[in-house]
Every structure is written in structure tokens, then in C-alpha cells.
Amino acid sequence: MGILTDLIGRGENGKKEDVDFLMGQLTSDSSIAMTRFVDYALSFVRNPEGVERMEYYLFNGTLMQRNYCTLYFNRKGDWETVRRAFKRGLIDEIQAFSR
């Protein structure tokens, strides 16, 4: 199984440990390709447990993790969650309002 297929499977499964694994791939050492693969895989997270975990990372993750969570919630149209993170100073204005 290829890496992208594995990542997508984790996104589709969308449990806490799957989101943790995906977020663990977002480090300063990550290749651009890996960050794109993870971003794509995160778009499949629909499981309420996974969505809750995404919110956890939006408020508690590294800057890179928070940025990808912001993209996730913006794409879902959940601007209230993004706005709360912005008001707490966890993401910048450009990231908060990008689609």
C-alpha cells in the first residue's frame, strides 16, 4: 500500500489515533509532498472523534499543525471555530481568513 493510500485511509477512518498519526507527519522536517498528502488526507476526516481531535490540535498543536487545522475548518465552513482560535492569538489573520 502506498503512503498516500495509507494516509487517506487514516483520514477516512478518522479516529483520534488516526488524526494523531496524520498530525505527527507535520513537522519542520516534513517534505512539501508529505504536507500536501496529509492536507489531502485530513479532508476525509468526518468521524466526530476525529473532528474533535482536529479542534484539539487547532488550539494546542504546533504552528504548522494549527495552520493545517485552520485550513480544515475553513474548508468545512466552520468559521466560528477558526474565529475562536484567531481571537486567542493562535493563528494569524492571513491564515484565519484564507480559504
How far, CA to CA in Å, does 57 sit from each of 2, 4, 5, 54? Answer: 26, 22, 23, 5
Q: What is the pTM of this model?
A: 0.92
Q: What is the pLDDT of residue 96?
A: 81
Inter-axis angle of helices 79-87 and 63-76, nearest 10: 150
CA dihedral 9, 20, 99, 34 (to 10 degrees): -70
Q: pLDDT band for position 10 (50/70/90)?
A: very high
> Mind listing the pLDDT tens digit for each residue in 41-60?
999 999 999 999 999 999 99
